[in-house]
Amino acid sequence: MLHDTSAEFHDFFERHYAELSRLAYLLTGEKDTADDLAADALVALWQRWDRLQAAQSPVAYARGVVANLARERIRSAVRERRRVALFWSRTTEQVDGPDVAGMLDVRAALTRLPFRKRACVILRHAFDLSEKDTATALGVSVGTVKSQTSKGMAELERLLGTEAAGELAAGRRNR
């Protein structure tokens, strides 16, 4: 039985793969995508072949699967193009931007801190929360926030240098 089912699907594949690929090409305009969509459709058909082989027109079902896959691919491509266009259409004004390399250094240094110290430093200095709000957010005492923030900043000074850690703390005070 399995051999017969496999042989029937193989025959279906041989008869209709080129047609399904051509349909996908006409829908998407992309040859490689068309081959992928036809193959994906046939995989979906194979998974349901025990039910589809008895259907009146399995090839009609296959065409519908290809059309749906092509529609999804086109929609995805359109969304991606819109995101790219939106990203590149932003005006490029000359402003003093952030020091990307410095930000990466800070991020790397923060990941080296134990969680509680890192959370205290981030909540206090990046989110500008008070000691009380930080304590509430973390479920610890205000004294713990004070000590963990102090120790975290000392560790950052050791990792980044006094000037960089001072700029991080000054950024909080200047907001």
CATH no. for residue 152? 1.10.10.10
Final residue of a domain: which of 56, 89, 122?
Answer: 89
Q: Which domain holds residue 70?
A: 2-89
Residue 14 structure tokens: 């041989």
Pick left, alpha or beta for residue 164 (phi over 0 → left; psi -120 to 50 → alpha; otherwise beta). Answer: alpha
Q: Do 67 and 139 have their domain in common? A: no
Distance CA 32, CA 38 (A): 10
Instruction: Please report, for the domain that includes residue 50, its CATH number.
Output: 1.10.1740
Residue 120 structure tokens: 């205290």
Domain count, the chain: 2
Q: Region 101-107: what's the mean pLDDT?
A: 77
Residue 169 structure tokens: 């703390």
H helix and E strand count, the chain = 9, 0
pLDDT recorded at residue 151 = 95
Task: Establish if 34 belongs to a structural domain.
Answer: yes
Distance CA 154, CA 157 (A): 5
Task: Establish if 163 belongs to a structural domain.
Answer: yes
Q: Do 81 and 10 have their domain in common? A: yes
pLDDT recorded at residue 55 = 76
Confidence of residue 40 (pLDDT cuts 50, 70, 90): very high
More confident residue, 28 or 22: 22
Closest to 126 (Cα-Cα) out of 109, 147, 140, 143: 109
Distance CA 166, CA 158 (A): 11
Alpha carbon 105 to chain centroid, angstroms: 23
Task: Establish if 94 belongs to a structural domain.
Answer: no
